[in-house]
Amino acid sequence: MIKVGIVGGTGYTGIELLRLLVLHPEVSVSVVTSRSDVGLRVDMLYPSMRGHMDQVFVTPDLDNLKACDVVFFATPNGVAMLLAEELLQLGIKVIDLSADFRIQDPVLWAKWYGQSHACPELISHAVYGLPEINRELIQEASLVACPGCYPTATQLGFLPLLETGVVDSSSLIADVKSGVSGAGRVAQVTALMSEAGESFSAYAVSGHRHLPEITQGLESVSNQSVKLTFVPHLTPMVRGIHATLYARLVDESVDLQALFEKYYAEEVFVDVLAPDSYPKTSNVKGSNRCHLAVCRPQGGDQVVVLSVIDNLVKGAAGQAVQNMNLMLGLPEDQGLKLVGLYP
C-alpha cells in the first residue's frame, strides 16, 4: 500500500482528499496534520470519516511525515514551500494544492502573493499538474503543483482554441463564477449565509492572483503572448465553477464542435457535450469531470466556451489524486470513477 500524508487536513480540500483517498484501493492514509487540532481523532471533527479511519491529527513536521511515500499539501499559500525541499530529499513525492509552485517566475509570484518565495530554486523542478497538457511530465515528477480551480476550468476551455491557433490570443475574456467553498473553510463576512445567500457579485476585477497562472498556462500551449481579461464572481452555491469564455475567431472555417471533440477524445475526465447542450455545475458536483460546450452565436466570429467543474474535486483534491496516480504509475482514473451528485 502507498503511504500517504495530508498536511492541512481540516480545510475543505483536505477533507475532500480524505474522502477520495480512504476509498482508493492502493492507498493507506497514514498521517493527517493540523496545528489547531493535534490529538483529536479525525472522525471526531468529520463524522463522515467514521468507519473509514481512526487516526488523530498530528503536527506537520518531518518526523511525522518521513515514512510517507507521498505527501499532499492542502494548506494556505506559503506553507508547502517551507517543507517541500526536506521531503523531496527523503525521496518523498510532493503534491501541492496551494499556489506555492504554480508560477515559474518567483518575482511575479511574490508580487501576486505578497511574500518572498522561501525556496525559489525548487520552482523550476515543479511540474504544473494539469494532466490534459502535462501528462508525460507529471509521470516523471517528484514535485507537482496542482492548478487552482479557476485556472483549471478556464484553461480546459481555451486550450483547444489556442493550441490550434484558430482564435486571436490578444483579446480573451473569462467570466467565471465560483461557489463559496472556493474561499476555504475560514470565517469571513463575505461567506456568511446572510451575505452570500441570494446574492451575486464580482470581486478582484482589477486583478486576481489566478490571472498570471492562467496566462502562463495558455502561453505555454499557444507559444505566443496572451492577453486575458479575467473576472471572478461569487455565487450563492457551495460547490462549483462555471466559466463563460470568449474569444474571436481568426479562422472562420473551423468546425468548433469537431475541434473540441477531437482534442479531448482520449481524456477520461473531460466531456465535450453535444451541440446546443449547456453544462451545469450540478451535473459535475462531487465528480472529477469537466463538462464543456462550445458555441458560435449567430454564426459570427465570436466563440463562446462554457466550462464547469467541481472546484473541490477537479479543481483541487480530485485533480491532486489524478496526479498521484500518474506519478506512481497507477491507472489515471483509479479512485476517481465518481458519478456526479444530482440534484
Q: How far apart are CA 33 and CA 41, in angstroms?
A: 11
Q: What is the DSSP letter of 147?
A: P
Catalytic site residue 119?
no
Residues 155, 304: contact at Cβ < 8 Å? Answer: no
| Residue 91: other Cβ atoms inside 10 A | 9
DSSP assignment string, 267-336? -TTEEEPPTT----GGGTTTSS-EEEEEE-GGGSSEEEEEEEE-TTIIIIIHHHHHHHHHHTT--TTTT-
Distance CA 229, CA 210 (A): 12
Please measure the distance between the N-terminal and C-terminal CA atoms of the chain and give it in whole angstroms. Answer: 35
C-alpha cell at position 154: 478556464
DSSP-based three-state secondary structure for 186: coil
Q: Which residue is it, cell 478582484?
A: 204
- The active-site residue, picked from 146, 149, 290, 295, is 149
Identity of the amino acid at 141:
A
Which three three-digit cell numbers place residue 28?
A: 493507506
Cβ pair 343, 334 in contact under 8 A: no
Helical H runs in the chain?
Answer: 12-21, 42-45, 62-65, 80-89, 106-113, 131-139, 149-163, 193-196, 211-222, 256-263, 318-327
CA 271 to centroid of chain Cα atoms: 17
* Positive or negative torsion for Cα 67, 69, 75, 78: positive
How far is residue 40's CA from residue 53's CA, in Å, rounded to a whole number?
13
Catalytic residues: 149
